[in-house]
Amino acid sequence: MASYFDEHDCEPTTESSTPFSQANNLLLQLARMLLEQGPDFEMDLTSLTPGERQAPPASKAAVESLKAVQITPSQAAKGASCPVCLAEFDEYEFVKVMPCQHKFHPSCILPWLSKTNSCPVCRHELPTDDPEYEEARKEKERAKEREAQLDMLHNAMYG
Ligand SMILES: [Zn+2]
Ligand SMILES: [Zn+2]
């Protein structure tokens, strides 16, 4: 007897379907659309973070301080490529490195960072020039710290 997948002529999906990786792919798709459509493309990122406001662009200072590195021959030989346009990097090509170490063509990542502040691969956030957003983000971090401290306290008392 044929299996379900034979009968329906489809393959079980091998891609991870966790919400994070979906959001992840969606960000890269948006980054590609932005490249295709140009700077007037209106991105709607609110669907990625329901209930939260859309992240503002990365701050100018943060973008300017992104390191540019040259692709080494061994990186090029391994087929290192730009996550946005998927083109392989050339030897000695200059690329922009995010703090999370993800590398992009400047022409691929800079338009993206003028729209929003996170790495399209891993969502690592760059600082923004938006005081309200920064305040909300700090508040979130403080809440996380408080939670961690409570955990520690709890472990010290009962662990
Ligand atoms: Zn690229
Ligand atoms: Zn990243």
How far is residue 85 from each of residues 30, 51, 122, measured CA to CA in Å? 11, 30, 16
Which of 26, 43, 36 lies closest to 107 in space, CA to CA? Answer: 36
Ligand lying nearest the CA atom of residue 80: 1
Q: Mean pLDDT for the chain?
A: 86
134-147 pLDDT, tens digit each: 999 999 999 999 99
- For the chain, give the percent of residues with pLDDT over 90: 70
As residues whose CB is below 5 A from the ion ligand 1, the structure lists 82, 84-85, 105, 108
C-alpha 120/C-alpha 27 separation (Å) is 5
Q: What is the pLDDT of residue 14?
A: 45
78-97 pLDDT, tens digit each: 999 999 999 999 999 999 99
Could you tell me which CATH class the domain 19-128 is placed in?
A: alpha beta
Q: For tokens 């760059």, name the residue.
A: 126
E strands of the chain, at which residues?
67-70, 94-97, 103-104
Asked whether residue 77 carries a pLDDT value surpassing 90, the answer given is: yes
Q: Please state whether 32 falls in left (phi above 0), alpha (psi between -120 and 50) or beta.
A: alpha
Q: Calculate how far, in angstroms, residue 74's C-alpha sits from the geometric centre of ligand 1.
A: 19
Q: What is the pLDDT of residue 71?
A: 98
Q: Calculate how far, in angstroms, residue 16's C-alpha sits from the geometric centre of ligand 2.
A: 18
Q: Calculate how far, in angstroms, residue 28's C-alpha sits from the geometric centre of ligand 1.
A: 11
- Strand pairing class (94-97; 103-104): antiparallel
C-alpha 120/C-alpha 86 separation (Å) is 13
Residue pair 90/79 in contact by the 8 Å Cβ criterion: no
**What are the residues facing 58 on neighbouring strands?**
128
Ligand lying nearest the CA atom of residue 86: 1
Which of 127, 120, 114 lies closest to 40 in space, CA to CA? Answer: 114
